[in-house]
Chains A and B, each alone.
Chain A
């Protein structure tokens, strides 16, 4: 696990707390160091301060994200909606606003790690099994191969049960910086639902009025 935080005391506190819960932690104070360490690999989660002395945290996130599928949890004192969305576009999986309670941070980290574990190989939920590496969706013996973005959409929904993904949120996660036309997410959801129903099972995707989509 990589902790990137310029405040030495906070960095120490977070590292100790993570180590106390059994993680191996590398802690650095600059964006440059973070990118250097990331090259070595073997990282399953990055805790990233947005406000770094050398490289902007968003930029670090963007480069880390471009290198691989490591979940990034942003730490920030800003926390406004605009910078949160910016973080999402840069590839952040979650956002923790400073000041925070240690347990809050640990809880988020565990959720992200669990999702990452769940996201590898196959996810099973609601009578569906999604084989992420080959993008194959199974319902009993029936199967269908999903287009890349629909598979990613379904993976997000299945690995975050109960979480509502807004349209903007999904756009940021599915497209990163190249924004699609306004209704593409709806089209994906519609097609995904059609394919799921064609497998002969109930569609687990729920529309939350005015808020987005979720799987319960």
Chain B
């Protein structure tokens, strides 16, 4: 198949990064997207709740204060009006008050004398009659608001000839009340806003450890859980952090126990396996034509390689490979292919040298080739190496291929595509490749075969000569 066709297919890439372990790419990304969004939402919600409830409280307080102030204001005005009316009434009854007093029209106060017949007398503004109000009432005409009251107009003789009506301009008092209401609303609203913002900030601060925990929980490598770090006050979040760590610790312990058990098993098997494989190899070179010896040797080699894979996994840590040297990937791949008659090998002849451990690199090539041969048969497997600034090892087969679901899990541990396989070969290959700062990709479609491609940085791209040091 052509390179273009292969590239167009569904693919999965795994390379070194923050989590080079077995953390499955898609799942991790999915969780990352959700958790911090939740945290922010809660923060906003709490901020809005504080803001909302404070606003309600402010409006309630303003209404209450306004009512109380209005009532008190009105009471004092009514009091004032009634006292003035009584004084005027008394003065009139005593005959000491004349028309000149009326015409003075003290500031904001109107005084009218209305006869029993309803005729406004002794008033400069007779055209603007003051209504009759035995108990003081509010009277609004146009823009003007007045408090109106009236009292009997008694002559010195005691004869009631009409009513004395008084109107107190309360427009200013109303304005005062409105100003008070507005200032209260403004101050209260400001307070609510400040408190809301403060709540938002405080809650953000309180939630930061939580968001931090969430980030750490998302980043946990299921293969190597690391305990979450918590920085913050001793509160519920601290409790959550402790609970999370208890869980992580349990997982880590369990995994360590599994690794120890695996290492123990591998250790017990190591010496006898080495002996069996070594003796059979010598036997096979002494009896090159005996198919039974050859079959036994191949089986022993396979056992040896599988247990090497298991041990690699059991050791767990392969972040950075030690003991690197310059290795020609083309030579390594050719050596592996030689052990599988029928598999074809090609190289573009460019520099295929990389920094790696030769035996680990061979393990990678062997696992990929073995995987392809088992899936498709040796005659349908092609291996190619391209050199250059990036060195590529490509293992292609025309086998049954994989569904996208199977492809997504192809590098997962203990997930085997075939019956009887342990499913560690590709996991190990990926880990080793990552430890050499490389990446491994798989492309496949049902019915159209599978391609595995290992990309490693070429040796020359990583080397600094003396000029760089000078």
Partners in one complex: yes
**Pairwise interchain contact A212-B326, C-beta atoms closer than 8 A:** no
Which residues of B in the span 286-321 have a Cβ within 8 Å of any Cβ on A?
A: 301, 304, 307-308, 311, 315-318, 320
> B155-163, B277-285, B413-421: which one contacts chain A?
B277-285
* Contact B271–A7 (Cβ < 8 Å): yes
Binary interface encoding of chain A residues 61-99 relative to chain B, with 1 for a CB under 8 A from any of its CBs, else 0: 000000000000000011111101100000000010111
Chain B residue with the shortest CB-CB distance to A14: B278
Contact with B along A160-198 (1 / 0, CB 8 A): 101110100100000000000000000000100100010
B64 within 8 A of partner (CB): no
CA distance A162 to B315 in the complex (A): 27
Q: Are A99 and B304 in contact (CB under 8 A)?
A: yes
Binds B, one of A28-36, A114-122, A203-211: A203-211
In the complex, whether A10 has a CB less than 8 A from a CB of chain B is yes
Q: Is A40's CB within 8 Å of the partner chain B?
A: no
Q: If A164-B355, A207-B464 touch, does A98 touch B317 (CB 8 Å cutoff)? A: no
With both beta carbons as reference points, the residue of chain B lying nearest to A82 in the complex is identified as B317
Chain B residue contacts of A133, Cβ below 8 A: none
- Cβ-neighbour of A13 out of B270, B278, B315, B462 (below 8 A): B278
* B residues less than 8 Å from A205 (CB atoms): 466
Of A52-60, A100-108, A139-147, the one contacting chain B is A100-108
The answer to the question of B252 belonging to the interface, with a C-beta cut-off of 8 Å to chain A, is: no
Q: Which residues of A contact B272 (CB under 8 A)?
A: 9
Q: How far is the CB of A81 from chain B (nearest CB, A)?
A: 6
Please tell me the size bucket of the interface on A.
Answer: 35 or more
A207 engages B463 (CB within 8 Å):
yes
Contact A99 B307 (CB under 8 A): yes
B8 CB within 8 Å of chain A? no
Nearest CB in chain B: distance from A99 CB, A: 4
Say yes or no: A163-B324 contact (C-beta < 8 A), given A13-B279, A98-B274, A99-B304: yes
Q: Is B326 in contact with A216, judged by CB distance below 8 angstroms?
A: yes
Knowing A17-B278, A164-B324, A169-B322 are in contact, say whether A77-B466 is a contact too (CB < 8 A).
no
Tell whether, in the assembled complex, residue A99 and residue B270 are in contact, meaning their CB atoms are under 8 Å apart.
Answer: yes
- Among A190, A197, A208, max chain B CB count under 10 A is at A208
Asked if A13 and B322 sit within 8 Å, CB to CB, the answer is: no
Q: In the assembled complex, which residues on chain A have CB atoms less than 8 Å from the CB atom of B311?
A: 77, 79, 97
Q: Chain B: residues with CB nearer than 8 A to chain A?
A: 263, 266-267, 269-275, 277-279, 281-282, 301, 304, 307-308, 311, 315-318, 320, 322-326, 355, 359, 437, 462-466, 468-469
A residues touching B (Cβ–Cβ < 8 Å)? 7, 9-10, 13, 16-17, 51, 77-82, 84-85, 95, 97-104, 160, 162-164, 166, 169, 190, 193, 197, 202-203, 205-212, 214, 216
7 closest cross-chain pairs (CB), A and B: A98-B270, A162-B326, A77-B267, A164-B324, A7-B271, A163-B325, A203-B466
